[in-house]
Structure 1
Amino acid sequence: MERDEGRGWEVQLGGLLREVRRQASCEAGPGVGELLGWLHRQTGLDAAVIAEDAVTVESSTADFPRRVLAPLAGMVARLSDGHLAAAATQAEALHVRCEALGPRRPRAVLVVASRAEPTAQTVALTSHTGSVLTLLRHAEAGDRNRRNYQDKARQLRFAVLHGLLAGGPLLARRMTTGAVPPLLDAERLRIHLLRCPSADRDEITQTHQDPSGYQGTALMVHCPVFKEHLICLIAEDDGHSGDGGSSGGSARNRGRALGEVLHRLVRDNPRYALGVSDVQPLHATAEAYTQATHALAAARTTADRVAYHHGQTSLTGILPPQPALAWARAFLRPLDSAPKNSADITRLAITMPRSGVARLLGLSRNTVTAHLRRAQQALGQDLADVRSRADVHLALTLTSSCPPAEPGPQRHPALADLLSTESAAAWAQTILRPLQDRHRRTLQTWIDANADAQQAAHRLDISRNTVRAHLRSAEAALGLDLLTTSTGTHDVVHALRIAAARAI
């Protein structure tokens, strides 16, 4: 008889170990409720875990009699605060046993109840189950802490990127509160913009993450606007401070290797694509990001799904500086009367969808629309019109890196005059030259239809899908993003406007 009981005890312990092993391999993580259910099936006990506050039922079997908890409140509190390790009593005509889980106070408490007095073997199995629960809860807490760390690391990397885009390296350093990434000691960088399934971004980022939460001299940032984009900033020089020891060399090597890794990922995954910027100074990170978005648009139609920025001269680079700046300041001056938040949101909404701005800032889409309405009323521009947006974007670009204007009245030319120069005509011709005639016709009709593919299809008597296919081909030929961030659309608007005026 004792041999049979021993064999049964071994079977139960073996079952407990198998349950632990099963839960350890479960992708969803350890389940306290499942282990309580296992204990119920083995012993007939109903069980519950009371949280560290000694009140809340964290998990329980389906038929656990919660009425017993009220008379047990004092005992559970003493177990939770460490005055007791285990206790047994009777309540509501039930045999109840309580056991504290773990050494740290306050502690969760395992409570089991049954109508019949439990056997010594049942008590022992309950105690073993409590020990396993403690380990599972510690593992769950460890997983939770790891997830929290990854979330904070991701947020910090985005803060560094935002600082570089908004104010340059000094602002980015201030936002790290002393945990300065090695990237900020570089003089130059290149941005690789990876398009991949959003679910893959965490795995890619964490695979190459160092203990500080960065990627050596690189930085991998989840784009908050476009869920399929992973923004990779990679240092392009050895201009790092410090003693140049092995840790610094390791960080540099990790940063250099990341570019090769990204190319390999694209080669091995048909759903991936990669756009790569020119090398830019650290303070020109915003320009590098714009270049990478244009390159990514072109990469979608290339055989290897990788493209580098073409390096076209921007329109702002060929306009006469002082007259262009005078026009831009006069054009944007009415925006000074709008609330600052409205002006700042407008700057973002010119280069990304409203829904993206809402996600980036944690606002509702209706709130973003309300801010844009105030801004367009101040400017006297229809920000839903693609040509108006192009003009606002040009003005914002011209003024973004310039000091404030001197007080007093200033003469300024009209935009049409700025775009009527020979250099502007040559720029437009360079922009549009790669287009096939049918793609240029589709592009012109699409702009005339206010960038509405359905309307353009109706006017051209072709399908909407054909219009989008022509636009994708135009993106590849021009090296400009037209359909994702739409930043390239602004250049196309101006190029087509100049071409129409000059009959190019």
Structure 2
Amino acid sequence: MPTLGALTMDPELELTFAMPEGGKRYGDKQVRGLSVLTLASVLDGAAPRTLPAGALVLVSGALPFRSWGAAAVALETLLQRMAEAGCAGLVVTTAPGPHQPYPQSLCDLSGQIGIPLMATAAPVEYWAGLVASLHRQRLAAAERRAEQLTALVQQLPAQLADPRAMQRIADWLARALGIQVLVSEPERVLAAAPPTAAEHLAQAIIRQSVEGSASDGASGPHTQLISLAPASGAQTVLAVARRIPFSEGDLRLLQHAAKLLGLVDQAHRDSRAAADASHAVRVAAAELLLAGELTTARRVLDPLAPGLLDADFGRVFVAETDPADRPGAVRRCETATAGRALVVADPSDTARILVIQPLHSGPNDDTVAHELTRLVTAQGPVSSLGGSGVYSLSLLGQALHEAVSAARFAPYQPDSVSLSAQHTDFVSLLPPQTAQRWARHLLRPLQSDTSWDLFRDTLPVALAYPNTVAARRLELHRNTVTRRVARAGELLCLDLTEVHNRITVGLALELVIHRDLPETPTVPHQGVPPVLLDLLKAPHLDAWAEQLLCSAGADQRDLLTTAEAWLACDAHLEPTARMMELAEGTVRSHLRALEGHMSRDLSSLAGIRDLAIALYLVTGRFAAPVADRKLCPAA
């Protein structure tokens, strides 16, 4: 519903608050209808004695600004009635100009009773559009409430055997409509919201059993009594009551709620059979989805979860668990996703659970991912989680392949969660002990130098940015940064102006400074020290690289060729453009597209590092041996 403040922004209505403080005090007040009265009817006392709650009252006709008299008295009476009905505000038509359309007595009364005074210079005909708009918004509000209940119905399969389901539905209904709710049988109460609802509704239940009709009296609480299963002859009844009458939309919601409660009531009598049927349907729907049979999957699942698959895109998650704990893990995943996803135990793997999430709220809906991540971090039966990116719902077979690949390197993540390669930290996938040995061997010339503390503080920033930018970030002189970088290059026997060497040294510094292991032995290892290629031999790193570059490789602009040329030119645009015979703007647009595909910032050293290493692992053409060139004797 629109607010008074929003209506004043409509130029056609030419609506203003009569008092300067009106906008601040009443701007957020909602308008639920419009009542148009003529000035003559107000002066003659012919105005309606009851007005709709939330209505904006418009009085049309020229007001006697110089001689108020009877008009002021009539408007005061109208204001009192509006206050009793809970109206939104009073509007009078007036000619354009700076004059005050209301006498001071009306302004004082307005402040006392909380009904704002407003004025409009627009003809009454211009307000017809507001009437139509309010009507449409009322219909939309009713539809939204129906959609809320439909969403509640869609949660039914996951809650059929839950003894608390009926109480949760009653609580939801009480909040949604502001009512007293009682679900009962002749001998007992099944659910009540609030807990005191039984005593308020006892008389209504007795009256229904005697008269066989719901109370619709104009005074006192308005009640509705609905049988949950009239066809079966069951005596379970939904009884509701509140002070204001029920609208058609409210009654429609109550009918849906009664059907849902009836299903829950029946489920309590035969929960095991319903659970078995639900499981079979879900597994069948999941298998059809992963096989690309979207239409058939929808037809199979709709009776159980209406509308769940009515989306264009989706994601797949693979949760790993101990086979003995899988039934409990499935129930936890179903509870966590709350009807927003299809959860099944993988028939082909006794330790795996598949979670298929249709994205009804758009591709950025991370609610299911957050809930599943919480299950992993809670140290329950779900031990690790892999997830895919966003795919068309007809291509979920590919999404499953990506999720399985992500699940392979999820155990190497600090939280045992890997939601696609784009969100996976490359450094955490490296073998920790071997990576530390390699990094310490590479940096030994720096660590043994008396200036190690200066190198440790300067190089991570100096390698990631031009010297001028690094100096500003470090609050040092540019020449100081240049000297330290040059000295580090001399000690390492590496040209730190080359991007591959910056990547190598930056990775080693991150491992030593930020990823050091508490159990790292102080006694040097015997034998040949590892090289960078030794760190990149794990199969899960190949899977990470393939998934990271998958969408970029499918781009028709041949982005990976541009990336290789850019890295060969030490990440400089101009020489890359010359090498490829392209405009600099084209190269720049290719790099921006790569950033989007990879979810990496290619202006950062970490982003360039992930691109370079992934290219090497996928193509084998990246000059990774530059990173393993023979170190100077001091190393």
Q: Tell whether the structures are fold-level matches, with TM greater than 0.5.
A: no
TM-score by length of 2: 0.29
TM-score by length of 1: 0.37
